[in-house]
Structure 1
Amino acid sequence: MLSIPASRPNAYTGSPLDRAGHLREDADWIHQALADPETLFAPVWRARSLMKGVEAGQPEAVLLTAAAAEAVRMQDGPWAFLGLWDGRPVFTVDCSAAEDPLPLLPDGMGAFTDLRQVAGLLPPGEASVLAHARGLMHWRTRHRFCGACGAPCTPRSAGNVMVCTACNAQHFPRTDPAVIMLVVRGDRCLLGHSQRFPNTTMYSTLAGFVEPGESFEEAVRREVKEEAGVEVGDVFYHSSQPWPFPSSIMIGFHAEGLSEAITIDPEELRDARWFTKDEVRNHQAHGFGLPRVDSIARRLIEDWLEAG
């Protein structure tokens, strides 16, 4: 089995931002940027992002000016500096405290939409910025207290660090690494129907979180063995994808299946099967679906099909 390169970037990658970490500690610069009329804000409301054109199938991100953002910032939600986009400061602000933030904004601002519904249609740079904002605000709203002593935390580094007010412990945004893999044996691939897919016919690649003291390759072999009972040999890196739903990074692989018999873990999978390329290409005719187009799971499958 040969390594199969990624044919194109994954959704939520290719950020246009210079994260400009050195500016996070410059309190005067941050203060001026927050008031600068050229500054842009990516608002997040209850894990949704502001967009327009969604109903027409042509979604685009709506970034607010400092003046427009002031109304939602007054809700006292967390905010953070994301970086520079062509030299313009970009912040994010969480306005979840408002029951409906749209009346607080100028007319024609669109609506707050689940990013996953439209990410495949958004310009790649916009999808990346919105994912960045969503992931960072999820962390900020759920890490208000110190995990070491339980005292309240206060934001530092322009919202990118939380510091305990009692023990001074520093807490940084959390990203949980997960491996996701397409296991291939001959001209067939292994796909599973997860317990998380109760109302669909979708079959997808296997995946799981990396455990402490474990390499990515070891995690691939362990997860496949645990979930499907299949032994895995060589493991080849394909690509990675930020997945802030809520706080993961998916590390994608193609893996060599050494055994064929399947023994599923019923707590993880409802079913798992070996599928030929023809079956996968014509999955609807064979009565099953594939993962969503913005997912790295779909990219792993498509690149295997295109490899010949």
Structure 2
Amino acid sequence: MTDASLFYTGLGLDRATERRRDAGWISSLLSAQGARVVPIWRTQNLMSEGESGPRAGFLSVADAIALGASPSDMALLGNGADGPVFAYDVSAVEDPAAVPALASAGRFSDLRGFGPLLPRPEATLLAYARGLAWWHSRHLFCGVCGAPTVSADAGHVRHCTRESCGTHHFPRTDPAVIMLVHDGDRALLGRQSRFPPGMYSTLAGFVEPGESLEEAVAREVREEAGVEVGEIRYVASQPWPFPSSVMLGFTAKALTTELRVDPEELEDARWFTRDEILSSEGDGSFRLPRPDSIARFLVEGWLRSGG
């Protein structure tokens, strides 16, 4: 069960999956009072400045149409109490700051930088829009025959336009396991060279074809750190559309503790006690993963567990 405290979960909208093919209904949503559009520009989201910090930026449907959007260009994210919400990719615009409708609504920025500062429902909405827009941008042509594809089902399917092919392409989400490995008193954390200075995180990796989630956990820990694990337990999941993953969180009990770090995977890996983490976090020598990540959620859960 997904934990409500995880960032990028809890959309709060009806995705209306069963009505996405109803063109008349979609048209009525586009003209509904309160309909809003989440614009995405080259994987960046629109951010406005509120009195208490950043907020999600939106366009009206009229503004999106003025920018060149047709109904088929706008993907339905969902319908809620405040009205329907759509996503629209404005990447064809060379300079958003030079377009009044966009410039007056905010500025574009990487969601990974300001997402943790947003109200969580807004962060979830922007992440969803970003992931869907990225998928569309990577599937403009059929992977089977190479013909152009067109958006359908309110932006949740792309159809191959070649009659002899006609393949339907659906948004892709790549499953990745992420795990807090512990021996009871210590947690195993590693760092990659691309991490900020001092940051250590939980181990993670993608699930391979023909592999169960538990097998992927054990394999990734063995490959990256040389540790064998057991008592693999599912904790929670988190969408991570940066660009197209879902993180499946686990805890695992270490059966061995000697580290054999794969230098191609990790720059370093260490065992940390709770006291080491709590006493050094914030002093510059050590930092936990980013606060909107399931890695941070897993570490903090282990710190609270006390054993």
Q: Which amino acid aligns with 1:125?
A: P
Partner residue of 2:11 out of 12, 15, 28: 15
Paired AA for residue 98 in structure 1: V
Q: Does the CA-based 8 Å contact 1:228-1:264 persist in structure 2?
A: yes
- Are 2:254 and 1:260 equivalent residues in the alignment? no
Match of 1:182 among 180, 183, 189: 180
How many residues of Structure 1 are paired with residues of Structure 2 in the alignment? Answer: 302
CA contact (8 A) 2:157 2:168 kept: yes
> What amino acid sits opposite 1:14 in the alignment?
G
Which residue among 71, 86, 89 is the counterpart of 2:81? 86
Give the C-alpha shift of residue 79 in structure 1: 2.6
Question: Deviation per CA, 1:156-176, whole angstroms, max 9, x where unpaired?
Answer: 101110111120111000000
Question: 1:1-308 to 2 correspondence within 5 Å?
Answer: 9-53=5-49, 58-74=53-69, 78-86=73-81, 88-102=83-97, 103-105=99-101, 108-166=104-162, 167-197=165-195, 200-284=197-281, 285=283, 287-308=285-306
Q: Distance in 2 between matches of 1:127 and 1:53?
A: 14
Shift of 1:66: 1.4
How far apart are 1:8 and its partner, in Å? Answer: 5.2
Distance across 1 between alignment mates of 2:203 and 2:91: 34
Matches of 2:178 and 2:5, distance apart in 1: 16
Report if the CA contact (8 A) 2:35-2:85 is conserved.
Answer: yes
- TM-superposed deviation, 1:7: 7.2
What is the CA deviation profile of residues 227-264 of structure 1, one whole-angstrom value per residue up to 9, with x for unaligned ones? 00000011111111000000000001111011010001
Report how far residue 29 of structure 1 moved. 1.8
Within 1, Cα distance between the matches of 2:129 and 2:284? 39
3-state SS in 2 of match to 1:120:
helix
**Distance in 2, Cα, partners of 1:288 & 1:87:** 43
Contact 1:283 1:290 (8 Å CA) reproduced = no
Contact 1:44–1:134 (Cα < 8 Å) also in 2: yes
Q: Is the 8 A contact 2:34 2:82 kept in 1?
A: no
How many Å separate the matches in 1 of 2:65 and 2:18? 25
Shift in Å, 1:47: 0.9
Question: Does the Cα contact within 8 Å between 2:198 and 2:285 map onto a contact in 1?
Answer: yes
Determine helix, strand or coil for the equivalent of 2:267.
Answer: strand
Decide whether the 8 Å contact of 1:49 with 1:112 is kept in 2. yes
Structure 2 counterpart SS, 1:269:
coil
Secondary structure of the structure 2 residue equivalent to 1:238:
strand
State the alpha-carbon separation in 1 of the partners of residues 142 and 2 from structure 2: 40
Q: What is the CA-CA distance between 1:6 and the residue it aligns to?
A: 8.2
Q: Name the TM-score, length of structure 1 as normaliser.
A: 0.92
Checking the alignment, whether the CA contact within 8 Å between 2:198 and 2:284 is kept in structure 1 is: no
CA apart distance, 1:150? 1.2
User: What's the offset of the Cα at 1:96?
Assistant: 0.6
What TM-score results when the alignment is normalised by the length of structure 2? 0.92
Residue 272 of structure 1 deviates from its aligned partner by 0.5
CA shift, 1:28, in A, is 1.5
The 3-state SS of whatever aligns with 1:105 is helix
Q: Any conservation in 2 of the 1:71–1:104 contact (CA below 8 Å)?
A: no
Name the CA shift for 1:73/1:9 in 2 (closer, same or farther; >3 Å): farther
Do 1:77 and 1:95's aligned partners in 2 also have CA atoms closer than 8 Å? Answer: no
SS at match of 1:116: helix
- Structure 1, unaligned runs of 5 or more: none
Structure 2 unmatched runs, 5+: none
3-state SS, counterpart of residue 25 of structure 1? coil
Q: Which moved more, 1:64-73 or 1:289-298?
A: 64-73
Amino acid at match of 1:190: L
> How far has the Cα of 1:45 moved from its partner?
0.8
